[in-house]
Structure 1
Amino acid sequence: MLEGISGTDFILGMSAVGAGLAAIAGIGPGIGQGYAAGKAAEGVGRQPEAQGDIIRTMVLGQAIAETTGIYGLIIAIILLFVKPLVG
């Protein structure tokens, strides 16, 4: 005999699914930062005298790219532990 799932259980289940999808948001920044670091290494190899400018620009770009992953992590934590959708 199958019993129906309660609304609260459904919301908690979907919150877990949403948290998993939000955690996947960390993949994009990781790929982008690796690509940027590789290109920065190539640039320093070609122009060692411009190392300071290249590294500064790379670190600024990586900091901006990392905010996407941090936002995804914050959303996942909120969905799992704060449970904002359950009244």
Structure 2
Amino acid sequence: MTVIDIPGSKSVTARALFLAAAADGTSTLLRPLRSDDTEGFAEGLENLGYRVDREADRWHVEGRPAGPAAPDADVYCRDGATTARFL
């Protein structure tokens, strides 16, 4: 399992979520910044078939190097431009 300590940044948290989803196995993000944008990114990953377990101070992402399990799923990006670009 890979553990990543995230600085308090929406942008870095979103990119870490993306990379964790693309990685093989489970990645744990410590202290991700919780915001509407990052919650929306995590929900988007879940809609695409990734498992994202969110705890108060850490998020666990089950990666799928082969890509999303549900590639045709609808993803609501909220107002997150990073979410729209990456997902």
Q: TM-score, normalised by structure 1?
A: 0.26
Query: Which structure dedicates a bigger proportion of its chain to strand?
Result: 2
Query: Which structure dedicates a bigger proportion of its chain to helix?
Result: 1
Determine which structure has more spread, i.e. the larger CA radius of gyration.
1
Q: TM-score, normalised by structure 2?
A: 0.26
